[in-house]
Structure 1
Amino acid sequence: MGHASTDTDVVVAGAGPTGLMLACELRLAGVEVMVVEQLAERTGESRAGGMHSRTLEVLDQRGVLDRFLAAGHLTPVGHFSGLWLDFDDFESRHPLPLMILQSTIERLLEEWAAELGVRVRWSSEVSGVRQDEAGVAVELRTTKAAPATLRARYLVGCDGGRSTVRRLSGIDFPGTPATMTALLGDVVLPGLPEEFIFMRRCPGGHFSALSLEPGWHRVITSEYDRVAGRDDSVTFEQLRESLIRLAGTDYGMHSPRWVSRFSDTARQAAKYRDGRVLLAGDAAHIHFPAGGQGLNIGVQDAVNLGWKLASVVRGQAPESLLDSYHAERHPVGERLLHNTRAQSALARPGADMDALREVFGSVMAFDDVNRYLRGMITALDIRYPVDGDHPLGDAGSPTPTSRRPTVPPASTNCCTPPAPFCSTCAAAPRWRRPPGTGPTASTSSRHGARTTTGPPRSWARSPLPPRSSSAPTATSPGPPPPARPTPPPSGPPSPRGSARPCLGEAPPETGGSPLS
């Protein structure tokens, strides 16, 4: 659909999950798009390892979810700073996280993009950006040919945390610097005594060893108050030494496929749109990778932007519609940085933080707290404000930009607002305490002082009773998993809100494949 004066309607810089998803969205609407990528080919590296419910919903809406389900496996658990969350089938048709490596996600998106006619230009690095009232000129530096210039109506930077598009466009990237260093590598780990280790806390930080593929383990070490330089080299020997400092052994690791580094640096673009240049994914926000949120938020950025940009390009909407992309997604990015900062702080070592984690884990035993954190991690709780009245909604009804609930309405509250411990209020939290355990605590409510069962100190180590049965879902045939499920390929995970011990304590049960 490109105009005679342009090479394409939209240039997307970056062929990662965000860039490819955006390109597919644009092609579905009939918009011509060119993806440019500085790499010569895929590296096979996979920093991310899963997809959450909202992303699965989007892929389902596009009719391609089955491809991803066939390439991964569903798991009934997630975490908040290493404290377990459990998932159920109340919020979504796809309630369970999908464990799938980023390299597989990119391959499947690239195959879909090719089917839609997306053109990908490899070995092409953006080296200059000039925009005017009619479009934007994108200068490319290539390794195999002379420099080139593409003319497009819009440019979208999906080119990662060190985005060249963002830098050349002069968009500020404020935030907070690193306070820790984490190393990550896929290695052979013959001496690991357990099927996997997840966020084992130690005096200097924590480490994980996750089996994501047969024969390979992903080792992640996190050391606090040790900050590496941005351009410092990363080696396998550094990863091995870091694991020895934390675990006292390297478990015989060898044969690294790749090694990388990350930190808790948190930054967000001051604006997601500057005229005809827009940002999405890591180019718009970087953060501590806690809870497996980064790739998912990037894909959701792309879906929010895709239909709006297509509508403007096709002349079906005014250019001002693009301003709603920043208005809706910038607050989502802010909250992403906020909750990952909290998770990074909560993961810090020390006796004070151990106590805080124990208390926080006890609070997570409330269904409402678990649901709140789960909604935040999965992005199922995102709502976009609608100014004034809207013809598709009325007072008390979901707006067109809200997710319509998939559960039947709860019983009427007898208190306004609902009393925290009223046994009949629909919004009252419900304790899932094993029978006969734990003390009682005196609690005040609108009904006056009353005695109610509170969580014991040993809550984090206590088993949870199974949930009541409900109807099967499309992605999870049969009854839903119990509160302490058994995800493949390992044994059951720790109960909701439980934490991993420091080195020297007896190891807890291990199992599952949590999102990192």
Structure 2
Amino acid sequence: MIYDVVIAGAGPVGLFLACELRLAGVSVLVLEQAEDPDSPLKRLPFGMRGLSAPTLEAFYRRGLLDDIAPAQRAHDDASDGGAAAAKTAQKPRRQFGHFAGIAFDSTNIDSTKWSYRLPSPADTPTGADMERIETVLASRAIAMGAEIRRGLRVEELDTSDDEVSVRAGSETFRARWLVGCDGGRSVVRKAGGFEFVGTDPEFTGYSVRVEIADPDKLQLGRHYTPTGMYFQAQPGTIAMAAFDGGAYHRTQPITLEHVQAVLRYISGTDVTLTSLLLATTWTDRTQQATTYRNGRVLLAGDAAHIHSPLGGQGLNLGLGDAMNLGWKLAATLRGDAPADLLDSYERERHPIGAQVLDWSRAQVALMRPSPSSRALEAIVHDLIGTRDGATYFAGRVWGVGLRYDLGGDHPLVGRSTPDFDLADGSKAGERLRLGKALLLDFDADASLAARARRWSDRITHVASDAKDRLGLSAVLVRPDGVVAWASDSAGDHEGVAQAATRWFGEPAH
């Protein structure tokens, strides 16, 4: 059997990509090294991940938000005709987000500077633990017909012009395409000949759960010291950064004695630990593949880019890769994609990855145990305390300013489509659940409808006014929710056919 796509890695990125490909009818095999997905590191507290606006929008547009972030949905369902959601968009919860540990007051945010946003079930940042995210995505992928094989580590691959041969364990699998979603130490990336460049680590990070004989010696909260940083979220749940060049990351077992020594060194106390319940290490090593595609092999998630978990943007970055890649790879397999559609995956996502990596490096610069970093931290703290500063940092952390450079003159092109509340009772985000492109025709223009019919197999045409159309006449939305074309003027739709051809290929009719 030849699969359309083999995905290496059954983490959130690989599983979400499998869902996206199955939505388009593509045959998918997911290979995962771990036999059992269960891990205490995927549960609270260490498994918690903040979900950005683009991630929440992606889950909402695919009907996954109710299961992944039910608390968020319960809040929105209780809103009065969207009024509460709109209020939340204007005044989110306090201190929801930080930069190098410097929390911004989210009531100080001027959301009017975030253009083309409407109240949506996905408009308030929230979080979910990795166990829940993976469970929901795996269940959805299997229900949609994806095959998931666990306990199989990709070891070798061989490519030709037409297919990829993948050896995992004692078995060999054939596919038209291979996507490496197998993490920061990706075998696919190494075997596929990808160059991985960046900066070396400055510290070893620790996330531990311990029992403390004398807990009063360690204060709660985040503390920068002359020798590093420690953060105690609750008694015994501690994160630390020891600026040792990453020397202790995955080099030897983590013992109670070692954790105690590091904690004493960083905190400057003689605190005594009596038990080590859970421990893991990480670093700020920051690297990115120079290209996301080599022939019939592609990379996504940590296989394509790694950085420190500061700010919690790694998961969101990888899920954005999957949302961007899925529909493009499916269209390529169908044979109706424009010649350069798949190459646009790298063009769009590589710059976003580079920005996040620099964002991570900037946070490390503020964390260094030096007088200059403490001075810089004080300045950034003052900046985040201003209205413009809080708005800027929130926009970066929450991802509301994400925009791809797609060309065109309209300021909405390249941005996430607003969740228009349509007169027919539906919302724009709900209309994207089938994974097709969407043409919103607010004026029910007959000529626009005729154009849309030429791509009826790839574009859903919706002729309906909206409660707030934001001054727009029509909007063409890609399957990933990104605006490909927009017009403010009724009857001015000449560019829509060109945009449709650019993104969805030649019309069928």
TM-score (norm 1): 0.70
Pair 1:157-2:180 in alignment: yes
How many Å separate the matches in 2 of 1:333 and 1:220? 25
| Paired position in structure 1 for 2:33 | 38
Write out aligned runs for 1:295-334 (5 A).
Answer: 295-318=315-338, 320-334=340-354
User: Which string of whole-angstrom CA distances, capped at 9 and with x for unpartnered residues, describes residues 75-104 of structure 1?
Assistant: 641100111123369456334332322222
- Cα deviation for residue 220 of structure 1 reads 1.1
How many Å separate the matches in 1 of 2:218 and 2:204? 25
Please, which moves more after superposition, 107-116 or 60-69? 107-116
* SS of residue in 1 equivalent to 2:184: coil
How many Å separate the matches in 1 of 2:217 and 2:3? 53
- Cα deviation for residue 121 of structure 1 reads 0.5
- Cα deviation for residue 315 of structure 1 reads 1.8
How many Å separate the matches in 2 of 1:97 and 1:195? 30
How many Å separate the matches in 1 of 2:282 and 2:378? 27
After superposition, the Cα gap between the structure-2 partners of 1:290 and 1:193, relative to the gap in structure 1 and judged at 3 Å, is same
The structure in which a higher percent of residues are helix is 2
| Paired position in structure 1 for 2:69 | 69
CA RMSD of aligned residues (A): 2.6
How many Å separate the matches in 2 of 1:122 and 1:98? 30
After superposition, the Cα gap between the structure-2 partners of 1:382 and 1:343, relative to the gap in structure 1 and judged at 3 Å, is same
After superposition, the Cα gap between the structure-2 partners of 1:359 and 1:406, relative to the gap in structure 1 and judged at 3 Å, is farther
How many Å separate the matches in 2 of 1:187 and 1:396? 54
| Paired position in structure 1 for 2:376 | 356
| Paired position in structure 2 for 1:57 | 57
Pair 1:201-2:250 in alignment: no
| Paired position in structure 2 for 1:233 | 252
After superposition, the Cα gap between the structure-2 partners of 1:220 and 1:299, relative to the gap in structure 1 and judged at 3 Å, is same
| Paired position in structure 2 for 1:99 | 127
After superposition, the Cα gap between the structure-2 partners of 1:203 and 1:95, relative to the gap in structure 1 and judged at 3 Å, is farther
* SS of residue in 2 equivalent to 1:254: strand
| Paired position in structure 2 for 1:371 | 391
User: Which string of whole-angstrom CA distances, capped at 9 and with x for unpartnered residues, describes residues 143-202 of structure 1?
Assistant: xxxx11110110000000000000001100011111111112234558545998333111
How many Å separate the matches in 1 of 2:141 and 2:218? 37
| Paired position in structure 1 for 2:23 | 28
| Paired position in structure 2 for 1:254 | 275
After superposition, the Cα gap between the structure-2 partners of 1:180 and 1:359, relative to the gap in structure 1 and judged at 3 Å, is same
- Cα deviation for residue 134 of structure 1 reads 1.1
User: Which string of whole-angstrom CA distances, capped at 9 and with x for unpartnered residues, describes residues 471-512 of structure 1?
Assistant: xxxxxxxxxxxxxxxxxxxxxxxxxxxxxxxxxxxxxxxxxx
After superposition, the Cα gap between the structure-2 partners of 1:377 and 1:337, relative to the gap in structure 1 and judged at 3 Å, is same
Given that 2:104 and 2:385 are in contact with CA atoms closer than 8 Å, whether structure 1 keeps it comes out as no
* SS of residue in 1 equivalent to 2:69: helix
How many Å separate the matches in 2 of 1:168 and 1:97? 37
After superposition, the Cα gap between the structure-2 partners of 1:16 and 1:362, relative to the gap in structure 1 and judged at 3 Å, is same
User: Which string of whole-angstrom CA distances, capped at 9 and with x for unpartnered residues, describes residues 349-380 of structure 1?
Assistant: 23332222111111122322222222222222
After superposition, the Cα gap between the structure-2 partners of 1:406 and 1:352, relative to the gap in structure 1 and judged at 3 Å, is farther
Pair 1:174-2:201 in alignment: no
Write out aligned runs for 1:89-488 (5 A).
Answer: 90=111, 93=120, 94-141=122-169, 147-188=170-211, 192=215, 197-211=220-234, 218-228=237-247, 231-237=250-256, 238-247=258-267, 248-250=269-271, 252=273, 254-257=275-278, 259-318=279-338, 320-387=340-407, 389=408, 395-399=409-413, 401-404=414-417
| Paired position in structure 2 for 1:457 | none
Please, which moves more after superposition, 32-41 or 307-316? 307-316
Given that 1:72 and 1:100 are in contact with CA atoms closer than 8 Å, whether structure 2 keeps it comes out as no
After superposition, the Cα gap between the structure-2 partners of 1:71 and 1:403, relative to the gap in structure 1 and judged at 3 Å, is closer
TM-score (norm 2): 0.70
User: Which string of whole-angstrom CA distances, capped at 9 and with x for unpartnered residues, describes residues 314-369 of structure 1?
Assistant: 22214531100000000011101111000011111233322221111111223222
Given that 2:230 and 2:238 are in contact with CA atoms closer than 8 Å, whether structure 1 keeps it comes out as yes
- Cα deviation for residue 49 of structure 1 reads 2.0
Structure 1 residue runs of 5 or longer lacking an equivalent are 1-5, 142-146, 390-394, 408-516
How many Å separate the matches in 2 of 1:224 and 1:195? 20
User: Which string of whole-angstrom CA distances, capped at 9 and with x for unpartnered residues, describes residues 194-237 of structure 1?
Assistant: 998333111111111225xxxx8542110114531565113132
- % identical equivalent positions: 36
* SS of residue in 1 equivalent to 2:153: strand
- Cα deviation for residue 285 of structure 1 reads 0.5
- Cα deviation for residue 57 of structure 1 reads 1.2
How many Å separate the matches in 2 of 1:112 and 1:253? 42
One-letter code of the match for 1:67?
D
